Amino acid sequence: AKSAGGNRFELADAEADARAITRHGLTTALPTALERGEFFIEYQPLVHLGDGSVRGAEALVRWLHPQHGVLGPDRFIPLAEHTGLIVPLGRWVLEQSVRQAREWRELHGGAEAVGPLRINVNLSPCQLTHPGLVQDTVDILERTGIEPNALCLEVTESALIGADDDLLKPLRRLAEMGVDIALDDFGTGYSNLANLRRLPVSILKLDRSFTQSMQQFPADPVDLKIVEGIVSLAHSLDLAVTVEGVETGAQAEQLRMMGCDTAQGWYYARPGPPERLHELALVDATG
Ligand code: C2E
Ligand code: CA
Ligand code: CA
Ligand code: CA
């Protein structure tokens, strides 16, 4: 790019080129990465706001790249979606996570007070439109012997905005089987609230941006009202509310008082290896 003060633009171009090259490199490396077992999953606890107990975990995928080290999902999920690798990758994540949930159950003896730990798995919009979704999920649950109601699939609000019946059908089938469907990043997609009744969801996951705005003092009163409104609407529709991005005890307390049911965030734990989740849950169960 030729322009006044061109150096800066050239630098920007060079950076953009480097990013494009990396993107290209990562994209071509994705299929072999799956074959070579370079992906792994971290688990972040889901905590009941009422009593502070660990009720389950969200599975978050990472890539241990031989040259670049650990890459977060934001670096490669969009590429996997673009190339279609997200379907086998997502299936792998689902199977691993459900197996992990069964292992916790065996270790944990099924913590009578709160029931078995639940596992939340993210679903990309591409997986939703893939015809194998329901059968793959049924197969995985049967192979591992986990009841459908220990599994929650998280779908972003934006993926379901304006969704037609064809898109909702597989989710309905899964929900009828007892799998929970959560609407992820809720509050960012401007979906019609009345539309919620049409969706086979049982959990709203309130986007981190709401929790973040509570960090500020004074918290934005409009955001507080919005959260209160969402919680009361959700409860009136029989939906549970999970909040993400809880980083302080003050936020947790505020959200608990506002009636949110479950929380997730660095205040409780960062995503980590499965043993960590097990420890947290165990400490919790034994007091
Ligand atoms: P998400 O589903 O909204 O997941 C929550 C993200 O917030 C995670 O980022 C988590 O590490 C981060 N987080 C958790 N607590 C806190 C907190 O207290 N403060 C802050 N600032 N952040 C927090 P992560 O692991 O980088 O994942 C990013 C996104 O990648 C996820 O957003 C999800 O959309 C996607 N993703 C992750 N794993 C999978 C997967 O297996 N399949 C698909 N399709 N998408 C995935
Ligand atoms: Ca999620
Ligand atoms: Ca989310
Ligand atoms: Ca998010």
SS3 content of the chain, % helix, strand, coil (to 5): 55, 20, 30
Contacts 24+ apart (CB under 8 A), 225-229: 226/187, 227/255, 227/258, 227/260, 228/258, 228/259
Helix (H) or strand (E) holding 63: strand 54-65
Per-residue pLDDT tens digits of the chain, which is 287 residues long: 444 555 666 777 878 777 877 889 999 999 999 999 999 999 999 999 999 999 999 999 999 999 999 999 999 999 999 999 999 999 999 999 999 999 988 887 655 545 678 999 999 999 999 999 999 999 999 999 999 999 999 999 888 887 888 889 999 999 999 999 999 999 887 666 778 888 999 999 999 988 888 777 677 788 888 889 999 999 999 999 999 999 999 999 999 999 999 999 999 999 999 999 888 887 766 55
Residue 78 contacts by C-beta under 8 Å, 6 or more apart in sequence?
none
Residues with CB under 6 A from ligand 1: 44, 60-61, 72-74, 77, 90, 93, 122, 124, 184-185, 244-247, 264-266, 271
ipTM of the complex: 0.97
CB 134 within 8 Å of CB 174: yes
CA distance 64 to 80: 15
Phi/psi for 229 (5° steps) reads -65, -45
**Position in ligand 1 atom list of the atom nearest CA 121:** 41
CB 237 within 8 Å of CB 202: no
CA distance 33 to 127: 19
Count, residues in the chain? 287
Q: Report which protein residue has its CA nearest ligand 1's atom 20.
A: 245
CA distance 128 to 134: 9
Q: Report which protein residue has its CA nearest ligand 1's atom 34.
A: 122
Ligand (nearest to CA of 266)? 1
Cα-Cα-Cα-Cα torsion 208, 213, 219, 221, nearest 10 degrees, comes to -80
What is the pLDDT at residue 114? Answer: 54
Cα torsion angle, 250, 188, 166, 237, sign: positive
What is the pLDDT at residue 110? Answer: 56
Ligand (nearest to CA of 153)? 2
